[in-house]
Amino acid sequence: RLHRILLREDSAAGMVLKPTDGQRIVRALEVLDASGRSILEWQAARGRPLIDRASTRFFVIEPDRAELVERIEARFDRMLEKGALDEVRRLTELGLDPDLPAMKAIGVRELQAAMAGELSFPEAIERAKIATRQYAKRQATWFRHQLGPEWLRLRPGDRVESTISDPLSSAT
């Protein structure tokens, strides 16, 4: 339905975006509504990059994998303690479109499945934690491919300042 609206309002963007790509379709419609211009115009009008890559060093601080997994799991547990289940229940009661970004948030579908009796709560929680770990892995992959950074692996107890300043001082 939204794709048909986009085709009518901004046929060029509608032809580029897949009908199943709800998030990008919504964004294209938002940009058109807010600016009166096609998202394709905005994308084509990119100016000079804000960062000169030749004279910039990029660092991605990647924690130890085991520590990251532990932190992810503890974070999801804290979210549950602070009412995530009630929040998902309220979202579900609103009857929102499942393609909306809020409904695609990690943990929402898993907790909805548990509330509907399709999964046990422990299984839903485990699946949400797995989805969060997978998301963290995709983020690391994105950094690796997009920025081409120099990777720094932090260990428990490492100080960020000294970890970054050592390679910076050797580069000058």
User: Hey, where are the domains in the chain?
Assistant: 2-44, 54-171
Classify 150 as helix, strand or coil.
strand
Which of 137, 113, 134 lies closest to 125 in space, CA to CA? 113
Cα 35 from Cα 108, distance rounded (Å)? 32
- Write down the pLDDT at residue 160: 74
- Write down the pLDDT at residue 171: 58
| Averaged confidence pLDDT in the chain | 87
| DSSP secondary structure letter of residue 97 | -
Beta bridge partners of 63: 154
Which of 149, 161, 163 lies closest to 53 in space, CA to CA? 149
Minimum mean pLDDT among 48-62, 70-84, 100-114, 118-132: which range? Answer: 48-62
Neighbours of 19 (CB within 10 A): 13
Structure confidence at residue 85 as a pLDDT band (50, 70, 90):
very high
- Write down the pLDDT at residue 33: 94
CB of 110 closer than 8 Å to CB of 128 = yes
The two three-digit tokens of residue 8, written as one number: 């009518």
- The CATH architecture of the domain made up of 54-171 is 3-Layer(aba) Sandwich (3.40)
Check pLDDT > 80 for residue 86: yes
Read off the pLDDT of each residue in 80-100 and give the average, rounded to a whole number: 93
- Write down the pLDDT at residue 27: 94
Check pLDDT > 80 for residue 164: no
